[in-house]
Structure 1
Amino acid sequence: MFNPARLKLARDRRQLTKKALADLAGVSQLTLTRLETGRTPEPERSTVASLAKALGFPPEFFFLDDYEPLTSSVVSFRSLQAMTSRQEAAALASGSLALQLLEWITARFNLPAPDLLNLRGEEPVAAAMALRTYWGIGMKPIGPLLKLLEVKGVRLFSLAERHKNVDAFSCWRDGTPMMFLNGFKSAERGRFDAAHELGHLVLHAHCGASGRDAEREADRFAAAFLMPQDDLISQISPQPSLEILIRAKSRWGVSLAALVRNCYEAKLISEWHYRDMYRTLSIAGYRTKEPAPLIREQSVLWKKIFESLWRDRITKDQVAKELAFPADVIQDLIGGLCDSLPSEEDVPQPKRPVLRIV
Structure 2
Amino acid sequence: MLPDADRPETLPGDTQHEREADAFAAEFLTPSDSILPELPGRVDLRRLAELQQVWGVSVDSLLYRCREIWLLSDQSAGRAWRRLAELRHQPGFATESVNRYPGEQPVMLRQAFELAAKEQTGLTVPDLAHELGWSVSRNEELLGLVHRRPVLRLVL
TM-score (norm 1): 0.27
Query: Per-residue CA shift, 1:45-64, capped at 9, x if unaligned?
Result: xxxxxxxxxxxxxxxxxxxx
Count residues in correspondence: 121
Q: Is the 8 A contact 2:52 2:58 kept in 1?
A: yes
Question: 2:4 — aligned with what?
Answer: none
Q: Is the 8 A contact 1:249 1:256 kept in 2?
A: yes
1:310 aligns with 2:112: no
Query: Per-residue CA shift, 1:108-129, capped at 9, x if unaligned?
Result: xxxxxxxxxxxxxxxxxxxxxx
Question: 1:241 — aligned with what?
Answer: 44
Distance in 1 between residues matched to 2:113 and 2:38, nearest whole Å: 42
Question: 1:287 — aligned with what?
Answer: 96
Distance in 1 between residues matched to 2:51 and 2:82, nearest whole Å: 20
1:338 aligns with 2:140: no
1:307 Cα deviation after fit: 1.0
Q: 1 or 2, which has the higher helix percentage?
A: 2
Question: Quick one: which of 301, 305, 308 aligns to 2:108?
Answer: 301
Distance in 1 between residues matched to 2:44 and 2:81, nearest whole Å: 11
Q: In structure 2, give the amino acid aligned to 1:329.
A: G
1:273 aligns with 2:60: no
Please list every run of at least 4 consecutive aligned residues from structure 1 whose deviation after the TM superposition is greater than 3 angstroms: 211-220, 228-231, 247-250, 264-267, 293-296, 315-320
Q: Is the 8 A contact 1:309 1:315 kept in 2?
A: no
Q: Is the 8 A contact 2:110 2:143 kept in 1?
A: yes
Give me the CA root mean square deviation: 4.0
Runs of 5+ consecutive residues of structure 2 not aligned to the other structure: 1-11, 146-156
Q: Is the 8 A contact 2:56 2:98 kept in 1?
A: no
Q: In structure 1, give the amino acid aligned to 2:96.
A: R
Q: 1 or 2, which has the higher strand percentage?
A: 1
1:222 aligns with 2:25: yes
Identity %: 24
Distance in 2 between residues matched to 1:331 and 1:277, nearest whole Å: 39
1:212 Cα deviation after fit: 6.1
Q: In structure 1, give the amino acid aligned to 2:62.
A: L
Question: 2:56 — aligned with what?
Answer: 254
RCO (CA 8 Å, sep 6+): is it higher in 1 or 2? Answer: 1
